[in-house]
Structure 1
């Protein structure tokens, strides 16, 4: 079920990128929420995707994050790469909270995960590099 609220910046959610076209992101994958809630921009959220695959060549817009405990399957890798050159503004309709399944009474369990402040600053620096604003990284 898609989220019906704006997740806080630094929250890890799953984004369904289906309908996008290569070389854009095109499949379901974990993302980190970048944007705060803007009162004049309903049902949109800016995110940066994560990948379990190491980039072919590591650039300043890539960084690696550790997840302990790991996210629920199929995203259960202890380390993921931030792909900060692929930032997107997406509809809440594309966003889902990670879920390891249901509890004993059939209620869905959600894994609400936030990255730490230092990790979020690192992601922000990578994003600035990824959108060509590397000179602003000194202000973080």
Structure 2
């Protein structure tokens, strides 16, 4: 179920790039992403994200960095992901979802809202600056 609210920068979400509008070699499948934009006044329903890959790049470049999670993200069996800062995108809330886990005793889904550390976020921002030529 898509998110209906702004999230904090550093929040890790699931983005469904397969919902149309993207074509290879752009992102075209579901993958974890990190929200990088703050809530902006007069802009609703959009978040700028940087995608993550569970596979280490063949050639690690300055626009790549590694982020590590305490536990693997649901549906992604690894604790380390690679930031693909050359693929940032502003996407609709309709593409984004929280990671769901099991259900509580009343049958309601439980959701995770993982955050990367401030230190890792600084590395992510440095990679983004490189990818944009700043």
Same-fold call, TM cutoff 0.5? yes
Aligned to 1:111: 112
Deviation, structure 1 residue 41: 1.2
- Deviation track 1:103-140 (CA, whole Å, cap 9, x = no partner) reads 2321101011111110111100011111121xxxxxxx
Aligned to 1:137: none
Runs of 4+ more than 6 Å apart:
none
**Aligned: 1:8 with 2:8:** yes
Query: If the length of structure 1 is used for normalisation, what is the TM-score?
Result: 0.91
Aligned to 2:52: 50
Consecutive unaligned residues in structure 2, runs of 5 or more: none
Deviation, structure 1 residue 90: 0.1
Aligned to 1:95: 96
Alpha-carbon distance in 2 for matches of 1:130, 1:75: 25
- Deviation track 1:63-101 (CA, whole Å, cap 9, x = no partner) reads 0111112211x2131110000000000000000001123
Alpha-carbon distance in 1 for matches of 2:131, 2:100: 30
What does 1:1-140 align with in structure 2 at a 5 Å threshold?
A: 1-18=1-18, 19=20, 20-72=22-74, 74-133=75-134
Deviation, structure 1 residue 32: 0.2
Consecutive unaligned residues in structure 1, runs of 5 or more: 134-140
Query: If the length of structure 2 is used for normalisation, what is the TM-score?
Result: 0.95
Alpha-carbon distance in 1 for matches of 2:79, 2:117: 16
